[in-house]
Amino acid sequence: MTLELVVAGESHGPALVAVVTGLPAGLVLEQDAIDGDLRRRQQGYGRSPRQQIETDEVEVLAGLRHGRTLGTPLALVVRNRDHANWAWSMSPWPPEGEPSGKGTKAMTLPRPGHADLAGALKFGLADLRDALEHASARHTAAAVAAGAVAKALLAEIGIAVAGQVVGDDLEQRIDAARAERDTVGGVVEVRARGVPPGLGSYATREQRLDARLAGAVMGIQAVKGVEIGDGFEIAGLRGSQAHDEIVRDERGLHRETNRAGGIEAGVSNGEEIVVRAAMKPLPTLMRPLRSVDLETGQPAEALVERSDVAAVEALVVVAEAGVAFELARAAREKLGGDSLVDFVNAHRSYLERIDWSPR
Ligand code: EPS
């Protein structure tokens, strides 16, 4: 039993669609909790005017009845309100009538750092819009909706996932960059409390929880680095300083430090899971970098279009969703169960066997 997620959707298409399979039956979902995370993702300093057009809300098309999962594929939809302005350009079927609205001209000026050039070459595209639309970070709205579902499942076994921006100078950096028509990135941290020892496995590379979380977070648009625990700092320490000594108390076997970020040998060790992600500065620049016009082959400046100065605070919510989904997936693999009751009971009896309780 495992959890899977597929997201379909283009940034200016009609909607984003997330399909989640592998949920147990009987999980209660709260629309407000999902919409709350969607709203958090839209907020944050440095976002583009696009966020004033969108009011992201989840619609459920399948897999839920009267607020409870059915144990069948769950289909979540987040509509793109901006699609109304792109209806001709982003029409799924050949558009009728004269071109109108936004995006009617082919894009041929790839932006360094965006999907434009790699996508055009890989898929043989003449209009870069065919590459950037699905690659766009707009897509993360649907992943956040799925992540909120994963959080609801994790809450049933006492796991809570929360993130924050690392560093306190983000707003100043954004103001300074905006004044110079530039962009910034940043670092975010996600922590998961209540994760029992034993999620993930060293049996194969694919099962290692640290590799899976790194993949989940690196798979988010604009993330270029991932760290588990004190990952990079540990490299410069001695072994005697780098590891977390084992002690026994009334909660079972625990650690007094957590340099490993809650994972050893690809398996959760019962301490808080700590994942950090480094986000690159966004690639759509109001003072564009050098590029080449793919239509003429001549040097040119990269495309300039509406964009964010930063989306670091949005990444907090998206990274929470990625970590939550992967932890929920690992928990489904470990605990199984077609109904939520089976899943929760399996968790309880496992904790009894290992004599462990969360901090
Ligand atoms: C993005 C470009 C901008 C961002 C978008 C990601 O979109 P637009 O071109 O419509 O202004 O706003 O992010 C979102 C729409 C969102 O909801 O996060 C990009 O090129 O990746």
Q: Which residues pair with 162 in a beta bridge?
A: 191
Q: How confident is the model at residue 190 (pLDDT cuts 50, 70, 90)?
A: very high
Distance between Cα 11 and ligand 1 center (Å) = 7
In a domain, 113, yes or no: yes
What mean pLDDT is reported for the chain? 97
Question: What's 267's domain CATH number?
Answer: 3.60.150.10
Interatomic CA distance for residues 58 and 92, integer angstroms = 21
Which residue CA neighbors atom 6 of ligand 1 most closely?
137
89 Cβ below 6 A of ligand 1: no
Does any ligand 1 atom lie closer than 6 A to the CB of residue 31? no
Q: Give the pLDDT mean for 299-327.
A: 96
pLDDT tens by residue, 98-112? 999 999 999 999 999
Residue 116 CA to ligand 1 centre (angstroms): 14
Is the Cβ atom of 137 under 6 angstroms away from ligand 1? yes
**159 within domain boundaries:** yes
| Residue having the nearest C-alpha atom to atom 5 of ligand 1 | 138
pLDDT attached to residue 114: 96
Which string of DSSP letters, residue by residue, matches 197-213?
Answer: TT-S-SSSGGG-HHHHH
Contact 336, 1 (CB under 8 A): yes
CA gap 28, 40 in Å, rounded:
21
Ligand 1 geometric centre to CA of 270 (Å) = 38
* Structure confidence by residue, pLDDT tens digits, 314-331: 999 999 999 999 999 999
Nearest Cα residue to 153 out of 316, 315, 346, 17: 346
* Rounded-to-integer distance, Cα 110 and Cα 112, Å: 6
Q: What is the pLDDT of residue 23?
A: 98
The total of structural domains in the chain comes to 1
Residue closest to 209 by CA, chosen among 327, 347, 319, 318: 327
Asked whether 136 lines ligand 1 (CB < 6 A), one says: yes
pLDDT at 158: 98
- Note down the domain range covering 125: 4-354
Q: What pTM did the predictor assign?
A: 0.97
Nearest-CA residue for ligand 1 atom 10 is: 50
Rounded Cα gap, residues 184 and 283, in angstroms:
9
Q: Identify whether 341 is part of a domain.
A: yes
In a domain, 12, yes or no: yes
* Cα 62 to Cα 77: distance, rounded to the nearest angstrom: 10
Question: Is 359 a member of any domain?
Answer: no
pLDDT tens readout for residues 65-111: 999 999 999 999 999 999 999 999 999 999 999 999 999 999 999 99
- Give the angle 156-8-294 at the CA atoms, nearest 5°: 140
Residue in 134, 138, 146, 155 with CA at minimum distance from that of residue 20: 146
Looking at residues 188-200, what average pLDDT do you find?
A: 98
